[in-house]
Amino acid sequence: MDVKIRLENLKASYNEQEVLKGITIDVYKNMITGFMGPSGSGKSTIISILNRMMEFEDGIRIEGKILFDGFDLTKTISSVELRKRVGTVFAVPIPLPRSIYENIAYGPRLNRINDREKLDQIVINSLKNAFLWDEVKDRLNTSALKLSGGQQQRLCLARTLALHPEIILLDEPCSGLDPISTAKIEDALSELKKDYTIILVSNNTKQIARISDYSAFFYMGELIEYGNTEDLFTNPRIKKTDDYISGKFG
C-alpha cells in the first residue's frame, strides 16, 4: 500500500489556542479514509490545512510536516496549484450561480481548456462519475441552483472530479442530506476510490463504518486511534474510541 499523504507531528493553533496537538498519520492511496470525532476534535482543521484554505483565516499557526507522495509541497507549490491536486467537497453544497454545465466547466476553463468537445467530454464524465448524469442530462443548461440538495452535493463532487485531482477531501458531505441522497454519494465514492485517494470527514460513524477502508478517531485535537475500519469498529483498542463508536458520547 502506498502512502499518499503523511502528516508528521502536525500542530495548529487559532489565536494561541491549540486545536491540533501533534497529529501523525499515513493516508493510503486509493483508499477511503474516514475521519471521525466530535466537533472540536480537529478533523476539519486538518482538511483546511491539506487544501490550504486555512490561509484565508486570521491568526492560525501551523507546525509539523505535510508530505504528499513523500514530498513537502509547502514551499514548492502555490496554493492555487495545490488545490488543483487536492479537491474539496464542502459540508453545505453551494454550486456557483450558473448552469449545471458551467459549474463543472468552471475548473477546466480556469486551466484554459476551452475546446467545446473536450469540455463536453469532461462534463459528461464528471457527472457520470458523480452518479448525477441520468438525472440532469436533459437540462445541463438550467441553473444549478434549481437542483435538490442531494443533487447539488453530487454536482459539487462532479465539479471537483472535473479537475482530475489526486486527492478528494469531503468535509461532512452528507450532513444535510436525506438517506437516499447519502446512499448515492456513498456509491459514487466507493467507485471513485479506484482512481482517487479519498478522505471523508463525518460525524456519522455508521457512514464511516459502511464505506471507509481506514478510520481515524480524533478527540480534542489528538488522534486517538487509527487503523483498518473493520478492526477499529469491531475491536477498538482504546476505550474512548469504543465509547464514541457505540454512541456513548458525540
Partner 1 sequence: MAFNKEKFIKYILTVFALSSLFFLFLIFAFILIEGLPLFLKVGFKNIIFGFKWAPTKGSFGIFPMIVSSFLVTFGALIVGGPLGLSCAVYLAEYSGKRMKMLLKPALELLAGIPSVVYGFLGVIYIVPLVRNYLGGSGFSLISTSVILGVMILPTIISISFDAIMSVPRTYREGSLAMGATKWQTIYKVVIPSARSGIMAGFILGMGRAIGETMAVIMIAGNALKIPTSLLDPLRTLTGNIALELAYATGDHRLGLFSTGVVLLVIIMALNYIANFGIKKKRLK
- Binding footprint of partner 1 on the chain (CB under 8 A): 51, 53, 56, 80-81, 83-84, 87-88, 90, 92, 94-97, 106-107, 110-111, 156, 159-160, 163
- Report yes or no: 42 and 171 within 8 Å, Cβ to Cβ: no
Alpha helices in 70-215 (DSSP H): 79-85, 100-110, 116-129, 133-136, 149-161, 179-192, 205-211
The least CB distance from residue 107 to partner 1, in Å, is 4
The least CB distance from residue 153 to partner 1, in Å, is 12
Between 35 and 244, CB nearer to partner 1: 35
Between 85 and 128, CB nearer to partner 1: 85
Between 53 and 220, CB nearer to partner 1: 53
Between 85 and 210, CB nearer to partner 1: 85
Between CA 205 and CA 16 the distance in angstroms is 31
- Report yes or no: 51 and 83 within 8 Å, Cβ to Cβ: yes
The least CB distance from residue 235 to partner 1, in Å, is 36
The least CB distance from residue 14 to partner 1, in Å, is 17
Between CA 213 and CA 196 the distance in angstroms is 13
Between 23 and 162, CB nearer to partner 1: 162
Between 42 and 95, CB nearer to partner 1: 95
The least CB distance from residue 56 to partner 1, in Å, is 8
Strand intervals (E) in the chain: 3-14, 17-28, 32-36, 60-68, 71-72, 86-89, 167-171, 197-201, 214-219, 222-228
What's the distance, Cα to Cα, between the start and end of the chain in Å? Answer: 32
The least CB distance from residue 95 to partner 1, in Å, is 7
- Report yes or no: 49 and 10 within 8 Å, Cβ to Cβ: yes
Between CA 77 and CA 93 the distance in angstroms is 27
